[in-house]
A and B are shown apart, each in its own frame.
Chain A
Amino acid sequence: MTGFAFAWQGQSLQMRCSGALWWPAGRWLVVADLHLGKSERMARRGGALLPPYETAETLRRLGDELDALDPAVVISLGDGFDDDAAAGALDADALCALDGMARARDWIWVAGNHDPAPTAPLPGRMLDAVALGGITLRHEPQGDGPDISGHYHPVVRLAGARRRAALIGPQHLILPAFGRYTGGLDAADPALSRWVAGGIAVACVHRALPLPLPAPVRQRGRPLRPLP
């Protein structure tokens, strides 16, 4: 058991160490910011030629979660593609993998700022937002919520490194980016912390580890185990 189960807005939820959110009530699996096709988009725009393997890598990790949980609905919380054209530029292997995963379940692509209207036909439905159990699922947090969103790619510092983390505030729940080629914004950044003040973070490492948000100063001088 590597997830972190918690109650939020009257719902039982589980944060997975993969960075996905599992909502057992309706067997919903929510992932944010897949950014599929990122390397292709950068190359298309005359930028760097990054190793073109991130889409396969992201879909492989998503496939592992599907195998483990068998969700009825998969919701991509926006920025599923690095831009609208990236959806049309996926290679045959990626399309085949996506088709296979979307078979026999509902698949919802929520629009993000990177992919407001993907140009290619994709398996599943496209929506601007989804309402589930009194909670709105959208790309960016809004107003008083309650909503579940992505967009910011939150990270926290833990054990000497930046780790992907979900941020759980009283009214807003912000998921980490699931995509392989994604960076992170520190949870202490005002652009992010203003949505989730007084909440907690769940760091996605080998386990989903809850910690207070924002993190207090690191502590030194812990007691040692004695020498045998």
Chain B
Amino acid sequence: MSLPPAFADWFARQGWTPHPHQLALLGAGGDSLLIAPTGGGKTLAGFLPSLVELAEGWKGLHTLYVSPLKALTADISRNLARPVADLNLPIRVEDRTGDTKTSARQRQRTDPPQILLTTPESLALMLSYPEAPKIFGSLRRVVLDELHALAESKRGDQLMLGLARLRSLSPGLIATGLSATVEDPQALADFMGGARVVHADPGPDPDIAMLLTSRPPPWAGAGGRYAVRDVLKAVAEAGTTIIFINTRAQAELFFQALWAENDTNLPIGLHHGSLAREARARVEAAMAAGELRGVVATGSLDLGIDWGDVDLVIQVGAPKNVKRLVQRIGRANHRYNAPSRARMVPANRFEVIECIAALEAVRARDLDGDARGPGPLDVLCQHILLTACAGPFEADALYAEVRTAGPYCGLSRADFDDCLNFTATGGYALRAYDRWQRLMQRGGLWGLRDPRAARDLRMNVGTIVEAEMTKVRWKRGGGLLGEVEESFAASLVPGDTFLTGGQIVRYEALRELVVEVSPSPRKEPKIAVFSGVRMPMSAELSHRVLALIGDPARWEVLPQPTRDWLALQAEVSAVPRPGTLLAETFPHMGRWHLAVYGFAGHNAMQTLGLLLTRAMEAAGLGPLGFSSTDYALLVWSLDPVTDLGPLLDRDSLRAGLGDWLADNAVMKRTFKNVAIISGLIHRNMPGGRRSGKQATFSTDILYDTLRRHDPDHLLLRITAAEAGRGLVDFGRIDEMLDRSPVLDHRRLDRVSPLAAPLMLEMGRVRIEGQGRMRLAEQEAEAMMQAAGLQLTDDPGGFDAPAAAAALPERSRPSRSRTAR
């Protein structure tokens, strides 16, 4: 199909020729999925059919654009403005996100624009209003941007349920998915409910290499600070650079280190999801205006925001995932025919191996990824509740509609009915809520018992469950700086200094759930760690790492410092090799650690972690927690493991598959997310979060209560299925033990080179057992001693307040002075 003359002229005036894939989408009569690299005119390809159709005029909403990021909608809005103005098209383009003003939202409900730009959550919200059939009845097209990113999480499942609803409201609408390069395009097309796959020319191979650094990477560490000068030099030589870092905390630290060395005052900004919205908007605007030479960013910039002339991407820290690396590299150079330029900076010597393995994978165009499972039922529960908010529905019709969504095409009627029952009555064996059902059937239709419940449900739309965050602001006036995790805020005492928003600040007080800080003159923050998102290495990448590490003949591709590092590992302990299971016991930070290098993938190592800690608990070793990576398991405990062999006994490991596996922190963490998404509990209440925490209680309590009284409950089944994806059958553990008949258990006096990177792993799993109880006793006793308080065996011998009151002022813990 060719362009209408006015559009052809406009392309010519820009000096452009339409790409074949743009024309292919224009001619498509049904749903399509476009796979194109960044810079391939992907977005224009998605909108071109709409613009052409709208040139004739249209009353009401015609095209809905959905993207994973609010920032992207603003960006698209800017980019569409030009053709709309140049061609004098009768089109209004507006966005509708969490940032859209209430007045604009109200107007959109009565007078929608021709093109509406939104996110999956805002779409779910709009579909929950009674006016939804009217607003979306005229819809002809839906454009789903960055679909590969949405498909990786439950946001994608929610979006597909929304798309199914839209298809019912406006039969015959055409959906177009836009995606970066993925390993399995057909799976993504199936996810859309079936679509024709259109491939754009992938463009030239990227120019990707390690960044040459003047100093070798350190033995351990995650920040990449050793390379700050080299990174600055690269930024100075390039036009505009994005520096990607894996976690927010590391981004803060690296940004700070960059500015400490930034003698020429290169304008470099910081961008991550925990910054205040205003701060992010400033950086985005400065970047779009070409005022910045560099920006330090986390995944918040992963997606295709058009920054103009980015010509270099620097990845600090191992990429962990080849697909994400390729997508990040694509950010450098939005010109279609030039290769993207990217440099990698491993944070430590182990990561050098990971980076080299990733480089090989990129060159081999070997993308990784896990197949996604069927649509999760907690998302369906939320969808049913929101559907009821829009108006009464018929169960049969909704079931049929849901089955048209790709992820739910195999949904059984029994599962659907369980979800409906859960949303209506809670689905408990004890039918306690027959009087207070949330949904009630009246005249064959299901609807809200109390229409006022709609407000709470709408306030809790979405499938992104993040750690509870606490806002940070300056004590003496001035705006918000950003957010920190609530658990981090709880650990602060006045006087502590920490990094946030790229600055070192001093903690002053917690006032109405906001952390108040003042500027700090300190150079080094006292506390710099706040936990971040775990980044598991993909299985493909870990296989490449294993192949490299396990074969000394291939070490010559490694730089000398890394070879030295492996040689040192061989000297102080051993290098993992086929046929032998290497394990190390060593003390670190007041705890005994056990590292087991199973190289069996994250899920198998996590499962082994759960089973092995049970064996350690039974042996009275006081395990406190563990973390797992694709290649190793790390357990910390109060007492050392001296004889590992018996603990790895298969029969006793297998015995742990029952209760211990159901009663662990992995399950509880999963349950929390499921409980929130399914609508069992509400995160957001009208009037903001309540002050004081006595009103809310931990979902662990709900989990334990359900397990005791209602073990077959739907939410426990969803939890088991979901957590089960992170665990393996015992067969895989068996196989790992079979593969390594020899156990080589080393006792070391300190962390080994190979174990050092394990210390940096996020996603720790707590063990609440005898060890934790012993720890509680030790901690309480140490605190009593530090405070100069003593206990006697005589029950009446301790007169608490009098003893405490007798303490001299300065020996009291500093925290007591915060009391009013």
The A interface is mostly helix, strand or loop, or mixed, namely loop
The answer to whether the Cβ of B100 comes within 8 Å of any Cβ in the partner chain is no
1/0 per residue, CB under 8 A from A, across B426-450: the answer is 1010101101101000000000011
A170 touches B802 (CB 8 A): yes
B815 touches A52 (CB 8 A): no
Chain B min CB distance to A212 (Å): 4
Chain A residues with CB under 8 A of B428 = 49, 51-52
Looking at A159, A162, A190, which has the most chain B CB atoms within 10 Å of its CB?
A: A159
Chain A min CB distance to B676 (Å): 10
Chain A min CB distance to B148 (Å): 34
Within 8 A of A (CB), among B771-793: 772-773, 775-780, 782-784, 786-787, 789, 791
A46 touches B816 (CB 8 A): no
Within 8 A of A (CB), among B385-426: 425-426
B783 touches A215 (CB 8 A): yes
A46 touches B590 (CB 8 A): no
Chain A residues with CB under 8 A of B705 = 51, 53-54, 57, 180
Chain B min CB distance to A224 (Å): 5
Chain A residues with CB under 8 A of B698 = 162, 183
CA distance A227 to B642 in the complex (A): 8
The answer to whether the Cβ of A197 comes within 8 Å of any Cβ in the partner chain is yes
A161 touches B778 (CB 8 A): no
- CB contact between B776 and one of A163, A189, A190 (< 8 Å): that residue: A163
Knowing A57-B705, A157-B490, the reply to whether A43 touches B801 (Cβ < 8 A) is no
Chain B min CB distance to A201 (Å): 9
The answer to whether the Cβ of A80 comes within 8 Å of any Cβ in the partner chain is no
B800 touches A200 (CB 8 A): yes
The answer to whether the Cβ of A76 comes within 8 Å of any Cβ in the partner chain is no
The answer to whether the Cβ of A199 comes within 8 Å of any Cβ in the partner chain is yes
CA distance A57 to B709 in the complex (A): 9
- CB contact between A12 and one of B436, B696, B796, B812 (< 8 Å): that residue: B796
The answer to whether the Cβ of A40 comes within 8 Å of any Cβ in the partner chain is yes
The answer to whether the Cβ of A193 comes within 8 Å of any Cβ in the partner chain is yes
The answer to whether the Cβ of A117 comes within 8 Å of any Cβ in the partner chain is no
Which one of B2-10, B235-243, B298-306, B677-685 contacts A? B677-685
Chain B residues with CB under 8 A of A52 = 426, 428, 430, 432-433
Which residue of B is nearest A57, CB measured? B705
Which residue of A is nearest B747, CB measured? A227
B710 touches A210 (CB 8 A): no
The answer to whether the Cβ of B16 comes within 8 Å of any Cβ in the partner chain is no
Chain A min CB distance to B452 (Å): 6
Number of interface residues of A (CB under 8 A): 76
A228 touches B642 (CB 8 A): yes
CA distance A52 to B322 in the complex (A): 47
1/0 per residue, CB under 8 A from B, across A1-36: the answer is 000011110001010000000000000000000000
Chain A residues with CB under 8 A of B488 = none
Chain A residues with CB under 8 A of B453 = 46-47
CA distance A227 to B639 in the complex (A): 9
- CB contact between B791 and one of A54, A210, A216 (< 8 Å): that residue: A210
CA distance A4 to B443 in the complex (A): 60
Chain B min CB distance to A83 (Å): 13
A217 touches B693 (CB 8 A): no
CA distance A103 to B681 in the complex (A): 37
- CB contact between B780 and one of A39, A210, A228 (< 8 Å): that residue: A210
- CB contact between A159 and one of B585, B679, B692, B779 (< 8 Å): that residue: B779
A205 touches B680 (CB 8 A): no
Chain B residues with CB under 8 A of A56 = 709
Chain A min CB distance to B737 (Å): 25
B452 touches A51 (CB 8 A): no
The answer to whether the Cβ of A75 comes within 8 Å of any Cβ in the partner chain is no
The answer to whether the Cβ of A194 comes within 8 Å of any Cβ in the partner chain is yes
Chain B residues with CB under 8 A of A217 = 493, 813
Knowing A48-B679, A51-B713, A54-B705, the reply to whether A6 touches B799 (Cβ < 8 A) is yes
CA distance A200 to B788 in the complex (A): 12
Chain A residues with CB under 8 A of B798 = 5-7, 210
Chain A residues with CB under 8 A of B820 = 190, 194
Looking at A8, A185, A217, A228, which has the most chain B CB atoms within 10 Å of its CB?
A: A217
- CB contact between B783 and one of A53, A54, A216, A224 (< 8 Å): that residue: A216
Within 8 A of A (CB), among B546-604: 585, 587, 589-590, 592
A199 touches B787 (CB 8 A): no
Knowing A49-B436, A198-B812, the reply to whether A209 touches B777 (Cβ < 8 A) is yes
Which residue of B is nearest A182, CB measured? B697
- CB contact between B696 and one of A183, A190, A225 (< 8 Å): that residue: A183
Which residue of B is nearest A163, CB measured? B776
B692 touches A189 (CB 8 A): yes
B776 touches A209 (CB 8 A): yes
The answer to whether the Cβ of B475 comes within 8 Å of any Cβ in the partner chain is no
- CB contact between B590 and one of A91, A207, A221 (< 8 Å): that residue: A221
A185 touches B795 (CB 8 A): no
The answer to whether the Cβ of B766 comes within 8 Å of any Cβ in the partner chain is yes
Looking at B491, B681, B702, B778, which has the most chain A CB atoms within 10 Å of its CB?
A: B702
CA distance A219 to B587 in the complex (A): 17
The answer to whether the Cβ of B805 comes within 8 Å of any Cβ in the partner chain is yes
Chain A min CB distance to B496 (Å): 8
Within 8 A of A (CB), among B254-297: none
CA distance A91 to B819 in the complex (A): 43
Chain A residues with CB under 8 A of B156 = none
B800 touches A48 (CB 8 A): no
The answer to whether the Cβ of A152 comes within 8 Å of any Cβ in the partner chain is yes
CA distance A211 to B796 in the complex (A): 17
B642 touches A206 (CB 8 A): no
The answer to whether the Cβ of A148 comes within 8 Å of any Cβ in the partner chain is no
The answer to whether the Cβ of A184 comes within 8 Å of any Cβ in the partner chain is yes
The answer to whether the Cβ of A115 comes within 8 Å of any Cβ in the partner chain is no
CA distance A9 to B27 in the complex (A): 87
Looking at B589, B777, B778, which has the most chain A CB atoms within 10 Å of its CB?
A: B777
CA distance A191 to B513 in the complex (A): 12
The answer to whether the Cβ of B337 comes within 8 Å of any Cβ in the partner chain is no
Which residue of B is nearest A52, CB measured? B432
CA distance A53 to B807 in the complex (A): 46
Within 8 A of A (CB), among B690-719: 692-698, 701-702, 705-706, 708-710, 713
The answer to whether the Cβ of A188 comes within 8 Å of any Cβ in the partner chain is yes
The answer to whether the Cβ of B79 comes within 8 Å of any Cβ in the partner chain is no
Chain A min CB distance to B750 (Å): 12
A183 touches B795 (CB 8 A): no
Chain A residues with CB under 8 A of B449 = 46
CA distance A215 to B490 in the complex (A): 12
CA distance A49 to B430 in the complex (A): 12
Which residue of A is nearest B452, CB measured? A46
Chain A residues with CB under 8 A of B430 = 52-53
The answer to whether the Cβ of B814 comes within 8 Å of any Cβ in the partner chain is yes
CA distance A49 to B679 in the complex (A): 9
The answer to whether the Cβ of A175 comes within 8 Å of any Cβ in the partner chain is no
B796 touches A181 (CB 8 A): no
B694 touches A198 (CB 8 A): no
CA distance A33 to B288 in the complex (A): 56
Q: What would 19 A/B residue contacts be, using CB atoms closer than 8 Å?
A: A5-B795, A6-B798, A6-B799, A8-B801, A14-B795, A40-B436, A47-B682, A50-B680, A52-B430, A57-B708, A160-B624, A170-B801, A184-B697, A188-B815, A190-B818, A199-B804, A200-B804, A206-B773, A220-B589
Q: Give the interface of B toward A (CB within 8 A).
A: 425-426, 428, 430, 432-433, 435-436, 438, 449-450, 452-453, 456, 490-491, 493, 510, 585, 587, 589-590, 592, 624, 639-640, 642, 679-682, 692-698, 701-702, 705-706, 708-710, 713, 747, 766, 768, 772-773, 775-780, 782-784, 786-787, 789, 791, 795-802, 804-805, 807, 812-816, 818-820
14 further A-B contacts with Cβ under 8 Å, apart from A40-B432, A188-B815, are: A6-B798, A6-B800, A7-B798, A8-B800, A51-B710, A52-B426, A168-B800, A180-B705, A185-B694, A190-B820, A199-B800, A216-B786, A222-B778, A227-B640
Q: Which 8 A-B pairs have the closest CB atoms?
A: A5-B795, A49-B426, A52-B432, A216-B813, A212-B787, A183-B697, A170-B801, A43-B436
